[in-house]
Chain A
Amino acid sequence: MNAALAGESLASYGAAFESARAVAGATEAARSQAFARFAELGFPSARDEAWKYTSLRRLESRRFQAARRSCDALDSPDVAVLSPHRVVLVNGAVAERSGLPAGMRVRTLDEALRDGEPQSTLLRVPAGGGTERFAALNVALCADALVVDIDERAAPEQPLHLVLVSAGAEARMAHPRLLIRAARGSTARIILHHAGDDAAEQFVNSFVEVEVATEAKLHLYRLQAAGTRSFLIERIEATVGARASLLMHDAALDASLSRLDLNVRLAAPGATTELSGLFLADGARHLDAHVRVDHLAPDTTSLVDYRGIAAGRGRGVFNGKAVVHVDAQRSNARQTNRNLLLTPGAEIDSKPELEIYADDVKCSHGSTTGQLDAAALFYLRSRGLGEREARSALTRAFAGAVLSRMDLATYAAAVHAVLDERLTRLLDTPA
């Protein structure tokens, strides 16, 4: 059961909401309703199954200033350029929109509303799930909502680099909101990049809605490199249409506490999704990924392969769930989660789940958590490699299985750079 928001916490978020409401204009009613829902649901408790391994007590105890509507370039740390097409949101507000490729449009909330997009689409709060509260908070407080449209049959050559920055000397909260729609027959690549600095604790509550229309193909590359002291909660809500595919990579590399809820609905025959992910929970990082795939139609396919590395006082959580609904005959759902614990104090909780209501399906899931293979370590050392080098080679090999599938060079290089630096530091520290 959830505890409704109360006391100081309510006062703090309430104050943020009051100032947001003052400039909400036409969206005021939707935002008020959303805030009421958030206040009703409150923060999750330890008894909440969806938050069993991830406590938000620390987040709940913090006070964050509301994000400013205007953004300050000084707040924005240097972010690697991963594509010539870049859109930057600082604290949830658009700071840069440069050189978009033909066939791709990016609009703000106001622009989309002016174009007649319904509020119910732009400011939707999906009911249920452990993160409805945060989806509601997002609607109540979002500074903007970015609508990315890929036109029918468009196939931009270069990816779109979407950067969500939360940084600066003050502890602020931001509620970035994205709606990404790949129209029929289109093919596109989008990098979803969380960036930050370590100056203060930031709270990022992001909501991303993805629609992949019939025969469209969307590659989504997520790079979670939020500030080391940040709290990041992100929900990605994706719907995949007939013979369409959502191909997703995730590299969760930073933040003090991060939680990803990725929900993919394979809504029409022939829909496919693939997710290949990696998290590196070292230091005191707590990284949680909840992945749910709903097979709602026949002949749908999902492949999930997520790997985790934890060290130090780090903690990783992976919850993978595939639900094959009654109409989803001839579906194929495969899920693997492999985890590596590098040091004794680290912890990884893995929970794979399958629910099958159709009878003609192929499903498999597996989860393993272990340490570096002692036999392999000895083998490498017996060839002259130092212990550190042997551990490094084996750790990189473990991550390499996911890295080798990253088919976008700039993205792969960015992930490699962070991993390299962190693994080097990690392995230099005696266990």
Chain B
Amino acid sequence: MLSIRDLHARIGARNILKGVNLEVRPGEVHAIMGPNGSGKSTLASVLAGRAGYEVTQGTVEYLGRDLLAMEPEERARAGVFLAFQYPVEIPGVNNAYLLKAALNAIRKQRGEPEVDAFDFLSLIRDKMKLMQMDESFLSRGVNEGFSGGEKKRNEILQMAVLEPKLALLDETDSGLDIDALRVVANGVNGLRAPDRAIVLVTHYQRLLDYIEPDVVHVLSDGRILRSGDKSLALELEKRGYDWVRQEAAVA
């Protein structure tokens, strides 16, 4: 589904990604872990098409298409979803409008008719219940005045409504208390499906107690140094990141 080969990217003159290789198949959950500054968020941003990053080398193929050649909205319509580390507050654009416009953009891409108001509301209500969100959120501005936890839940709500093929979760666990973490993890687990891939970017192992990954990668200084199963995450939790770096240096 997603094939990243030798990806190099920089911000200004600073090289951040220095040759990332990653294969993600449908149905898989990947966790990308790494210390601060390792390039985790840059990777997620490059995949979603955020401006300000320059890809200097390498390719990213998504469902047989050149992902890097697509505009951010084309990626979204083709089924890529990024749950932001810092969801943006947009006063004056309400949540219901955004959800509906986003859903219709994706449906249009699939050749489906626009969702009607009744179906839309019943869909949203179900998903909001899942995310334990109050319906009053719908008429509020996007993320406006939301707490950190509410913003993260809103990201997962959008994801649940849009049903992406490839979900990228950028530090979705950061700033969450344990109850919110459970709600968010529930939402994500509810989306696990044979035709959907999920890539979790995280600093801590904690999230992986709730969302069990198939593959864990360690990203450090812009490269994936090691990949393994979920036991790798536990080892990282115990031993920190340094030993991976040291071993890589030796090898």
Contacts and interface: CB of A to CB of B under 8 A. Distances in A.
B92 A401 contact: yes
Given A385-B105, A386-B105, A387-B73, A380 B49 contact: no
A384 B92 contact: no
Contacts of B72: 378, 381-382
Given A386-B73, A387-B71, A387-B73, A380 B105 contact: no
Contacts of B97: 393
Contacts of A382: 48-50, 72-73, 75-76, 81-82, 84
Interface string A364-391: 0000000001111011111111110110
Contacts of A386: 73, 105
B140 to A, nearest CB: 12
B102 interface: yes
A64 interface: no
A175 B91 CA distance: 41
Contacts of B102: 383-385
B88 interface: yes
Contacts of A373: 88, 90
B91 A383 contact: no
Given A387-B71, A389-B101, A393-B97, A381 B76 contact: yes
A390 B73 CA distance: 10
Q: Decide if the interface of chain A is mainly helix, strand, loop or mixed.
A: helix
B52 to A, nearest CB: 9
- Bin the interface of chain A by size: 20 to 34
Contact of B90 (A387, A389, A397): A397
A419 to B, nearest CB: 14
B101 A385 contact: yes
Nearest to B80: A382
Given A397-B93, A400-B92, A380 B71 contact: no
Contacts of A401: 91-92
A385 B51 contact: no
Contacts of A387: 71, 73
B83 to A, nearest CB: 10
A308 B51 CA distance: 27
B217 interface: no
Interface string B189-222: 0000000000000000000000000000000000
B158 to A, nearest CB: 7
Contact of A394 (B51, B76, B81, B93): B93
A262 to B, nearest CB: 25
A384 B91 contact: no
A363 B82 CA distance: 43
A396 interface: yes
B98 interface: yes
A332 B48 CA distance: 47
B106 interface: yes
A398 interface: yes
A52 to B, nearest CB: 32
A392 to B, nearest CB: 10
A393 to B, nearest CB: 5
Nearest to A379: B88
Nearest to B109: A384
Contact of A383 (B92, B141, B162): B162
Contacts of A375: 88
A383 B82 CA distance: 8
B77 interface: yes
B19 interface: no
Contact of A379 (B84, B101, B105, B109): B84
A384 B101 CA distance: 8
B90 A394 contact: yes
A398 B88 contact: no
A401 B51 CA distance: 28
Contact of A376 (B51, B82, B90, B162): B90
Contacts of A390: 73
B87 interface: yes
B90 A378 contact: no
Given A383-B158, A384-B162, A387-B73, A397 B105 contact: no
Interface in B24-54: 48-51
Given A378-B50, A389-B101, A393-B93, A384 B106 contact: yes
A396 B92 contact: yes
Nearest to A390: B73
A170 B158 CA distance: 57
Contact of B87 (A374, A379, A394, A396): A379
A381 B70 CA distance: 12
A216 to B, nearest CB: 33
Contacts of A385: 73, 98, 101-102, 105
Contacts of B92: 394, 396-398, 400-401
A384 B93 CA distance: 15
A378 B51 contact: yes
A381 B72 CA distance: 6
Contacts of A378: 50-51, 72, 88
A376 B82 CA distance: 14
Centre residue among B76, B90, B105 by max chain A CB count within 10 A: B90
A114 to B, nearest CB: 52
Interface string B81-120: 1101001101111000110011001100100000000000
B70 to A, nearest CB: 11
B98 A380 contact: yes
Contacts of B109: 384
Interface of B: 48-51, 71-73, 75-77, 81-82, 84, 87-88, 90-93, 97-98, 101-102, 105-106, 109, 141-142, 158, 162
7 contacts: A378-B51, A379-B84, A381-B73, A384-B73, A394-B93, A397-B93, A397-B141
Given A382-B48, A383-B102, 17 more contacts: A373-B90, A375-B88, A378-B51, A378-B72, A378-B88, A379-B142, A380-B98, A381-B72, A382-B75, A382-B81, A383-B158, A384-B73, A384-B101, A385-B98, A390-B73, A394-B92, A397-B92
Pairs of residues from A and B, 5 with the lowest C-beta to C-beta distance, nearest first: A397-B92, A384-B105, A384-B76, A383-B102, A381-B72
